[in-house]
Amino acid sequence: MSSSPVSSLPLITAKMGKVHKGNSDAKDKKTEFSLVRVKSTWKSKLGKKINKDVVDCVSAAKIYESITDRGTSWTVVSPITFTYKVTETYGLLDPSNDTLLLGHITDPQQLEDIKTSNKPIRRFVVIEQEVFQIYGAKLTEYLEANDVVYKILALPTTEENKSMETALKILDDVNNFALDRRTEPIIAIGGGVCLDIVGLAASLYRRRTPYIRVPTTLLSYIDASVGAKTGVNFANCKNKLGAYIPPAAAFLDLSFIQTVPRRHISNGLAEMLKMALMKHRGLFELLEEHGCMLLDTKFQVDNTLYGHSSIKAASQATRIAITTMLEELAPNLWEDDLNRLVDFGHLISPALEMKVLPSLLHGEAVNIDMSYMVYVSHESGLLTEEEKQRIISCMVGLELPVWHEEFTMELIQKSLQDRLKHSGGLVRMPLPAGLGQADIFNNTSFDILHRAYIKWNEELSVSSDSTCDV
């Protein structure tokens, strides 16, 4: 699957000038300047009408000059466009498949120039250590078969070492390899932690070096790989340092998932279920009906028990999950709007996950959060008892935890208070309002939160082992 290009146009405002005491209501005179390039020099031109015959280039940026009795200020409005590709492919490490090396290039002329050039392709690859143990030989064979000058850095990338120290280790090796910061993207191969760390390192090196994401877990396949977030943990807080710099491309190959342990498949299904509950009833019903099959087959073609229905369900589930995720991310790539449905399951789970490291995987912590919030929705009158039970049964069927002893009322209150500080003074709590429907709420009372917590504890604290009926 190849997605539509994702772009956004943020505004960058720069203000300068002397500070004067005076009338704060003083009228200002705002003058608009266009920016044009003439013989390598940028110049400001008054007004909107530009004779394009006498200039080399007209920028999309504008400068607005304001003069008041307090001084002069300049407001810069500079559109920034990011375009990146999310592409499903097969046989990514097949030497005859050039997607990994050239699939990020969108300019046909640039692509042709590279193919006809005698200059060797150079690539710096960061790969999760456990992934390297499985695919290292195949990756090396692929690079050498395509005459690539390469450096492979295999690292243990876990939540415990998701840190600036790891990012700086990567940058030290990148610097020694001497990458071209515009034409030689760093390739990250691994789970979400690996993709996040490499993305941050790339965004720091020479202020932005392109990078490519290759997810090897189900969670990173449908979540980390399709967005723009990069980051590392800091001050015992999850992803407290980071940036919004999307990859040049994300290449998705489901065949990597076949070597992932069953628990990690379940872990990824939690983020898939999140999108189902927020946006897509059909995806929820697919997971409800075929979740065990997807776990058994690891999203691969199964020619024995399930036949080709397994890959059909896998393809539908991943495509819907990615599409719904991109729908939410593309118009809000920099999170200028803090009302985000994709935050469902992420209000309490970051604190829970960091508190109990390494006992819970990310998706498991998210699912425990979602499980509790389903009870909040029910107590708020947004879900019926039947809908609540269907959701919890689906979670159990996906072999996800629905309760944890460290998920306390104290943790809930502290997490929501912290959210107020970082979400513009509002809780912005996404809650399901039916199957595949959701809204964001700011006024959920403590009474509702507490009643939901009591019922959640009573009904789910003694959980039975989940089983899949074949």
Active site residue ranges: 229
SS3 call for 25: coil
Do β-strands 186-190 and 237-244 pair in parallel, antiparallel, or remain unpaired? unpaired
Amino acid letter, residue 291:
G
Do β-strands 237-244 and 249-252 pair in parallel, antiparallel, or remain unpaired? unpaired
Whether omega before 358 lies within 30 degrees of 0, making that bond cis, reads yes
**Quick check: 178 and 151 in contact, CB under 8 A?**
no
| Distances in whole angstroms, Cα of residue 387 to Cα of each of 236, 284, 461 | 36, 11, 20
Concatenating the DSSP letter of every residue in 438-464 gives EEEES---HHHHHHHHHHHHHHHSSPP
Residue 443 to residue 275: CA distance in whole angstroms: 23
| Distances in whole angstroms, Cα of residue 126 to Cα of each of 11, 41, 105, 155 | 33, 40, 20, 7
| Residue in the structure block whose two tokens are 């993709």 | 195
Residue 189 to residue 206: CA distance in whole angstroms: 22
Which residues, in sequence order, are bridge partners of residue 232? Answer: 241
Concatenating the DSSP letter of every residue in 179-210 gives --TTTS-EEEEESHHHHHHHHHHHHHGGG---
**Quick check: 294 and 394 in contact, CB under 8 A?**
no
Supply 379's token pair: 């107590």
Measuring CA to CA, which residue among 124, 305, 105 is closest to residue 198? 124
Concatenating the DSSP letter of every residue in 47-93 gives SS---TTS-SEEEEEEEEEEEETTEEEEEEE-------EEEE-S-TT
